[in-house]
Structure 1
Amino acid sequence: MVKNILILGGCGFIGTNLTVELLKRGNYKIFIFEAKKVIKRNLDQLSKVEFYDGDFHNENDYEIIFKENKIDMVIHLISTTIPLISNQNIIYDIQSNLVNTIKLLNMMKQYQIKKIAFLSSGGTVYGISKTEHKESDSTIPICSYGIMKLTIEKYLHLYNYLYGINFLILRPSNPFGEFHQNSLQGLINVILKKIHVGEIIEIWGDGKVVRDFIYVKDLVRIIVDLIEKKIQNEVVNIGSGRGYSINEILNIIKHEIGDFPLVYKETREVDVRSSILNINKLRTFLNINLVSIEEGIKKTYEWLIK
C-alpha cells in the first residue's frame, strides 16, 4: 500500500537525500513543502514528487497540502537557524522554530494525522554533560538551536499524551555527503568544498574538538528503516558511535584527497569539546552497517567535483 509522506524541508541537504531513499523504496507518494526561493537539486529524482512552496511562518501556506491530500506521515526537517548563529536572535529562534512547529502539530491534530518524524540534533541537545551520549542522558544545550530542538521534543511527547500523535525523534550526529550546500556548517563538506576551489582551510580552536560523523546516505537509510519497522514514540541517536577529532579528519582528507593550506583560529563558544553518540539503542532496532568515513569522504569529493 502506497503511503503519502509530507517532507517539510525536503529540498535541503538531508531532505534531498531522504527523498531519493524513499523513492528508491517505491512504496511512497512524496509531497515536499519548501520555501519559494529554495534551490532544487537532483531534479531528475525530484520530478517524481509533488511540490508545494510557501512560508513555514504561515500555516495557511501548508494547510492546503492537508486539505488536498490524505497525508499518512509528516517528516519535519525544517530549521530556520544553525547552532553557530542561533544565540544571536533567540526570540526569532523561538518564534520561527518552536512556535511554528506547535502550529504544525495543531494542524496535524485538526486533520487527524497521527505520525510525525522529527529531525532533532544529537550534536547539540546533550551539551557539555559528558563525552558519549545515550538518549537517556541529561540534556544541557549551550546554544539556542539545541534548546529549541529539545523543547520541540518535549512538545511531541505532550501531543502524544494529549492527542495520540505518534512521534519518532531522530538525533543525528554530524552528517556529510552529497547535496550539501551550507557554507557555515558541516565540517567535512565545508573543508572539501574549500579544497576544491583552492581556499585556505580555517579551523576554530586547536583541532582537538571531537565529533561523531555519519555519511548522509547511511543516515537517510536508517531513518527510512526505522519508519518501516514502525518504531514510534522513541528518541533515537543516529551516528557512527565513534569520535574523530578535527585533526584526525584533516589527516584522513589529506590521505584521500591531497594536501591543502590550513590555519587555526580562536575557539568558538558554541563548540562542545567532545560529542559522540551512543548508538546501542539504535542497534536494538536495526542491523547497522555504515560506510567508512574514508569511503564517505571519497564519495562526497567525487560528487563535489562533478
Structure 2
Amino acid sequence: MAIMVTGGAGYIGSHTVAELLARGEEVVVVDNLYQGHKAAVLGGKLYVGDLRDGEFMDTVFRENEIDAIIHFAANSLVGESMTNPAKYYHNNVYGTLCLLEKMNQYGVKRIVFSSTAATYGEPENVPILESDRTLPTNAYGETKLAMEKMMRWFDTAHGIKYVSLRYFNAAGAHESGKIGEDHLPETHLVPLILQVPLGQRAHISVFGDDYPTEDGTCIRDYIHVSDLADAHVLAVEKLRHGGDSDIFNLGNGTGYSVKQVIDAARKVTGHAIPAVMEPRRAGDPAVLVASSERARVELGWKPSRTSLEQIIESAWAWHKHNPKGYNDRT
C-alpha cells in the first residue's frame, strides 16, 4: 500500500517524501511542477499532472493501491491571493474538492492536510491554540480554512478521516544536502537573507522595527522542514491506527524576531549581511507563534532541530551548493 503525496515535488512535500522513503514506505508523488522540481523527488513514483484533471487522477488511483494521502498541493503566496483570489479558490479549494471526490470514489479514507496558522488571522492568544477562533485576514488563509471545513463534511458524509496541521514558517534543508528551498518568486525570510552572502542581493529589508517586541521587529515561528515532515508522517500513523479527525498546530512555542534571524545568519555565514529598515507592511501582526503542545502529546511529535542556528546552517549548506536552486525550470 502506498502513500500519495500531492505537491510532493515542492519544498515541504519533497522533504516529507524523503522521510517516508527513509521509513520504507511506498510513495506516489503527484505534482504539476508549477512550483515543484523533479530533482527534489528522491524516490517513489512521480506522476506529473493536476488534481483537477479527473482522467489523470483516475490513472494514478487505478495504477496504485493508495492507503493514505498527504496533501500539500496549493498556491501559498499571501500577497498574490489578495490580488488574484480566483486562482487560489480554483487551485486550492476546487483542487481539494476534486481530490476528496476521487478519494471517495476509490475508497481511500485517510488524508493528512498541510494547512496554515494563517487560518487564525490576528491572534487572540500568543502562542496560538487550536481552540482559538479562525478569522483569516487574507484569501490564502481563507482557502485553507475552506479546505479544512470541506474535509470535515467529507468525514461526516463518507468517513474520510483527516488530520490538519497548521504552522507558519518552514526553514532549513535536508541533512543529505540533496534537497532544499527553491521558490520563484522567493518570499521566505531565511532564503532571502542568504541571498545576500550569495551575492544575489545587496541587503535584506526589514519591514518595521517599531513593533511592541523586545527588539522592535516581528516575531515568527521557524521550524526545520524535516521536523515538519516528521509531523506529517506521524499524523498518517495516527490515522492508520484508527485515530479520529483532528487539527494540530505545529510551532516552536517562542518564536524568533527578524533581527534574531538575521544575526543568526551572520554568525552562520560569516557575512555582514547589511539590513535596511523599511516601513511596516500593512497587516503584519507583531507576533505569530503557535503552540504545539497538543501535537507533542497526542502525535508524539518531538522536533529535533530546534536551534535557529542549526536551521540556518542546514539552509546555508544547501544554498551554497545550489546558488541558483534546482535550475530545472521550464
- What is the TM-score with the length of structure 1 in the denominator? 0.92
User: Structure 1: any 5+ residue segments left out of the alignment?
Assistant: none
* 1:23-102 equivalence runs, <5 A: 23-26=21-24, 28-35=25-32, 38-42=36-40, 45-46=42-43, 49-102=44-97
* 1:281-292 equivalence runs, <5 A: 281-285=294-298, 286=300, 288-291=302-305, 292=307
Match of 2:256 in 1: 244
CA RMSD across the alignment: 1.8
**1:197 CA displacement:** 2.5
Contact preservation (8 Å) 1:215, 1:296: yes
Match of 1:108 in 2: 103
Describe the shift of the 1:262–1:9 C-alpha distance in structure 2 as closer, same or farther (beyond 3 A).
Answer: same
- Could you tell me how far apart the structure 1 residues matched to 2:304 and 2:144 are? 26
Match of 1:305 in 2: 320
- Could you tell me how far apart the structure 1 residues matched to 2:123 and 2:172 are? 28
**Once structures 1 and 2 are overlaid, which stretch shifts more, 193-202 or 250-259?**
193-202
- Could you tell me how far apart the structure 2 residues matched to 1:53 and 1:9 are? 10
Match of 1:253 in 2: 265
The one-letter amino acid of 1:29's match is E
Contact preservation (8 Å) 2:196, 2:273: no
2:218 maps to 1:209: yes
2:99 maps to 1:140: no
Contact preservation (8 Å) 2:155, 2:161: yes
- Could you tell me how far apart the structure 1 residues matched to 2:59 and 2:257 are? 46
Number of residue pairs matched?
A: 299
Please point out which of 257, 262, 286 is paired with 2:275: 262
- Could you tell me how far apart the structure 1 residues matched to 2:101 and 2:320 are? 44
Contact preservation (8 Å) 1:53, 1:61: no
Contact preservation (8 Å) 1:201, 1:263: yes
Match of 1:186 in 2: 188
Residue identity (%): 29
Q: 1:273-301: per-residue Cα shift (whole Å, max 9, x none)?
A: 21100111112121524311111111211
The one-letter amino acid of 2:38's match is K
- Could you tell me how far apart the structure 1 residues matched to 2:235 and 2:33 are? 30
User: Structure 2: any 5+ residue segments left out of the alignment?
Assistant: 174-179, 210-215, 322-330
- Could you tell me how far apart the structure 2 residues matched to 1:57 and 1:20 are? 25
**1:42 CA displacement:** 4.2
- Could you tell me how far apart the structure 2 residues matched to 1:75 and 1:216 are? 15
Q: 1:72-125: per-residue Cα shift (whole Å, max 9, x none)?
A: 111110112411211101122112211121121111111111011110002x11
- Could you tell me how far apart the structure 1 residues matched to 2:167 and 2:275 are? 28
- What is the TM-score with the length of structure 2 in the denominator? 0.85
- Could you tell me how far apart the structure 2 residues matched to 1:189 and 1:228 are? 32
Contact preservation (8 Å) 1:143, 1:270: no
